[in-house]
Structure 1
Amino acid sequence: MPYHLDEHLPDLDIPLPSGDDVTTVTATLPEADTWTRLGRLYEPVAEAVADVVRNDKVPVVVSGDCTASLGTVTGLQRAAVDPSVVWFDAHGDVQTVETTASGYLGGMPLRILVGYRPELISERLGLRVVPEDRVMLVDARDLDPPEADYLATSGIRRCGVEEVSADALPPGPLLLHMDLDVIDPGELAGLRYPAAGGPTASSVLRAARRVLDTGRVVAMDIGCTWHPGREDLGDTRSRVLSALISGG
């Protein structure tokens, strides 16, 4: 999905393997508010995910932000899979329209998944709520005060990258969501919202491997949250995406 929210980015550098298993999802979006446009965009994502799951395969959705996860979870639910969520991110993604200082919708998808204001987009997609106690938020080192306040009393579990283990994961089938800005920006250049002090790419991949080794991952969602046209220092993007998509 070469998009950042509803902005089509055909030049977004996402180093994916070539082959028949790679499909590019685009959509003709109406002149409308952003939520309506995102709903139109995530409809084909949901259908593509559902089709892959019905064929007993594991879909990997790769996009320029984290809101695409709404389409991924919708697709899983359409295929009769109710996933728990393991969410790797430098940020909390639990802002709301009422609390955000920036107005950035990409800071809200996890909050929407757990039930915030379904009329914005969930109802039009048919997205059902993921219970808070079936969500694990990994890292989230850069939180705005309203996010910290919400997480302090919510059922969402938090842990560091090194603390991820099979025993700590929520129950049931898993969506593994990976915003690549969880990696320290010194190693991953060109990020839209870099947050200093993050883990290395290698430690993130080891943690992802521990999740994948459970055999419970039914879909993966990867946010390539960088600006188009920025240099891939040390081929970190290629290395990380190759490792995640290959399952190792």
Structure 2
Amino acid sequence: MADRGAEDTWDLIVTPWHVDEYIPAFPMPATATRVTPPDLPAGPAAARMSLLHQAALGAVTRAARPLVLSGDCPTTRAVVAGLQRRHRDLAVLWLDAHGDFNTPAISTSGYLGGMALAMLTGRTPDLFDDTLGLNPVPETNVVLADARDLDPAEREALAAGDVRRVPADPAAITSALGRLGPVPVYLHLDIDVIDGAQLPGARFPSGPGPSLAQIEECLSAAGAATSLVGAYLACAWLPEHADDRSSRHTMTRLAAALGAELAWPEPDGG
């Protein structure tokens, strides 16, 4: 994939799992590279996730400009680790209804999917092994958009840290990215940032929020304002809804706002 050429071309990659759960029905665009999940041993979820992330790292490293479609947020570890092999400095734009800034010490649920941004910024040092070679992203290089649904301790951690918080608004995002200077940007979007009424079958709908059209505007603005060297769509629908027509439609529109076309194979039977 790495020799495809044009800087505006996206290399589509699919990681069909949520945390450590394989999702057989995860939709697969016709031109995407599918990361085959390795056989996972019984044991703690974090150890199983490490094996999945190692598999994803290989695909990301071979991609010139990865756009990852995934069923969760934590696999972002593999994408950032891969991008860091080519970009010493990297900024992160994170659009999410949640902060994903929990850690094992403050989480009330222990849900690892709610710790993904904390993982990137080095706040979970003992959760995984270091096989990815991931370097913590400085919090001053992180822009968190929306995050309307926060746990109390998570809210306090964000307030005490250096992550820049902005609304999911194109002008606010453009301004925040401009303050970072000419640094390459990795864009991460969890579909639950979209108003819950527009997300049938989502795992974690978060009630009223920006519309799909507003989020499309945010993605387009980010792409126009900075150099996007990688992107990630966390498509966290319930497994039985992952391949719904409405789910594919949402993924297609979000990818198009980034300048990528998702071509879906014809269903069996024509």
Q: Tell whether the structures are fold-level matches, with TM greater than 0.5.
A: yes
CA distance in 2, matches of 1:98, 1:165: 30
Counterpart selection for 2:159 from 152, 158, 179: 152
Question: What does 1:132-151 correspond to in 2, within 5 Å?
Answer: 132-151=139-158
RMSD: 2.0
Question: What does 1:17-96 correspond to in 2, within 5 Å?
Answer: 17-19=29-31, 21-52=32-63, 57-96=64-103
Deviates more, 1:111-120 or 1:93-102: 111-120
Identity of aligned residues (%): 36
CA distance in 2, matches of 1:106, 1:143: 13
CA distance in 2, matches of 1:238, 1:74: 24
Residue matched to 2:9: none
Q: Is 1:217–2:231 an aligned residue pair?
A: no
What runs of 5+ residues in structure 1 fail to find an aligned partner?
A: none
Name the aligned partner's letter for residue 204 of structure 1.
I
- How many residue pairs match? The answer is 241
Residue matched to 1:206: 217
Could you tell me how far 1:124 is from its partner in structure 2? Answer: 3.1
CA distance in 1, matches of 2:209, 2:231: 21
CA distance in 2, matches of 1:116, 1:165: 24
Counterpart contact for 2:145–2:173, Cα < 8 Å = no
Q: Deviations over 1:63-102 (max 9, x none)?
A: 1110010111111112344321000000000011111111
Superposition TM-score, scaled by structure 1 size: 0.90
Q: Is 1:182–2:183 an aligned residue pair?
A: no
Q: Deviations over 1:189-210 (max 9, x none)?
A: 1111110111000000100111
Deviates more, 1:28-37 or 1:150-159: 28-37
Could you tell me how far 1:238 is from its partner in structure 2? Answer: 4.2
Could you tell me how far 1:173 is from its partner in structure 2? Answer: 0.6
Counterpart contact for 1:51–1:79, Cα < 8 Å = no
CA distance in 2, matches of 1:239, 1:125: 30
- For 2:197, what is the secondary structure of its paired residue? coil
Counterpart contact for 1:46–1:75, Cα < 8 Å = yes
Q: Deviations over 1:155-177 (max 9, x none)?
A: 00001111434332134110100
Counterpart contact for 1:76–1:82, Cα < 8 Å = no
CA distance in 2, matches of 1:235, 1:174: 26
Deviates more, 1:237-246 or 1:79-88: 237-246
Residue matched to 1:4: 18
Q: Is 1:102–2:124 an aligned residue pair?
A: no
Residue matched to 2:259: 246
